[in-house]
């Protein structure tokens, strides 16, 4: 059984190059027994990247993945405001490159029609779409999606696979929002290790729809692993969450690309 981290960044990590930052992450991942890291976005975050900036960020991830193809997987970062450029980038990095998923952050809410062609293309490529979500008490950013908005997108694209990034952080509400969407998975990453999160996710969605992730380097591998090790779960359920589910989701695209699983 391997542990696969569904959500990692190069940002917030020491190192002058993408390769050195990934090596830094891997040193700690090794200490914590994490075998694979899914990387997205570049050396510095950009909320509304231009097409050129998008390519720069993805190039950084491509360099890191290229240095450690056995340890890192790439999600292509897209900005739906630049729909055609995003489709071109999707083809460059996923169809014709080694990346295996799509990352959408806070440029546009997932209810926007501009996402539709991107999601449709991702589904054709068997690439899961990781959509960052939050439920902030004081209100989200203008382009920051809620789990409920992701659920609307998922209903329009039943063949696509979505990962609900951070499950809205306010996970009690986030889990309810995606509960009825069988093609939406809960990502545990990027929030405090509040007790009860993982048990609630398993109870409401079923263990097969819950994915371990960290949001490192901003977050610690330790605190995010604790959401699985500290939860009242059976060992088979832990195995599913820590890696089994993500491997299953990514299986078709990894197989198509000949990437070792």
Q: Which residues bind another protein (CB under 8 A)?
A: 1-3, 12-13, 24-25, 27-28, 30-35, 134-138, 168-170, 172, 191-196, 199, 216-223, 225-227, 229-232, 235, 238
DSSP state, residue 8: E
Cis-peptide into 200, omega within 30 deg = no
C-beta closer to another protein: residue 209 or 219? 219
C-beta closer to another protein: residue 51 or 196? 196
Taking the CA atoms of residue 127, residue 129, residue 130 and residue 136 in that order, the dihedral angle to the nearest 10 degrees is 180
CB of 19 to another protein, least distance (A): 16
Q: Which residues of 117-145 are buried (b: 16+ CB within 10 A; e: fewer)?
A: ebbebbbebbbbbbbbbbbeeeebeebbb
C-beta closer to another protein: residue 87 or 141? 141
- Cβ atoms within 10 Å of 249's Cβ, excluding its own: 22
C-beta closer to another protein: residue 16 or 137? 137
CA-based nearest residue to 76, from 60, 16, 36: 60
C-beta closer to another protein: residue 52 or 192? 192
CB of 12 to another protein, least distance (A): 7
CB of 31 to another protein, least distance (A): 6
CB of 46 to another protein, least distance (A): 21
CB of 248 to another protein, least distance (A): 16
Instruction: Give the separation between CA 70 and CA 15, rounded to whole angstroms.
Output: 20
Using DSSP, state whether 153 is helix, strand or coil. helix
């Amino acid at each position: 059984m391997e542990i696969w981290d569904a959500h990692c960044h190069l940002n917030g990590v020491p190192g002058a190059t993408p390769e050195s930052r990934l090596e830094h992450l891997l040193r700690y991942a090794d200490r914590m027994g994490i075998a694979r890291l899914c990387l997205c976005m570049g050396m510095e975050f950009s909320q509304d990247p231009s097409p050129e900036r998008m390519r720069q960020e993805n190039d950084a991830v491509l360099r890191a993945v290229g240095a450690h193809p056995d340890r890192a997987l790439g999600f292509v970062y897209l900005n739906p405001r630049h729909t055609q450029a995003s489709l071109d980038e999707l083809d460059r990095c996923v169809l014709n490159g080694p990346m295996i998923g799509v990352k959408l952050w806070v440029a546009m809410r997932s209810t926007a029609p501009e996402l539709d062609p991107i999601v449709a293309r991702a589904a054709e490529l068997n690439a899961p779409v990781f959509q960052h979500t939050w439920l902030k008490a004081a209100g989200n950013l203008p382009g920051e999606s809620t789990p409920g908005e992701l659920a609307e997108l998922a209903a329009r694209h039943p063949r696509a696979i979505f990962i609900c990034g951070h499950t809205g952080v306010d996970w009690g509400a986030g889990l309810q929002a995606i509960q009825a969407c069988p093609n939406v998975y809960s990502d545990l990453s990027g929030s405090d290790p509040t007790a009860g999160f993982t048990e609630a996710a398993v109870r409401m969605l079923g263990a097969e729809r819950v994915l371990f992730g960290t949001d490192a380097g901003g977050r610690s591998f330790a605190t995010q692993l604790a959401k699985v090790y500290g939860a009242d779960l059976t060992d088979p359920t832990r195995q599913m969450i820590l890696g089994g589910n993500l491997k299953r989701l990514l299986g078709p695209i990894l197989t198509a690309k000949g990437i070792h699983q």
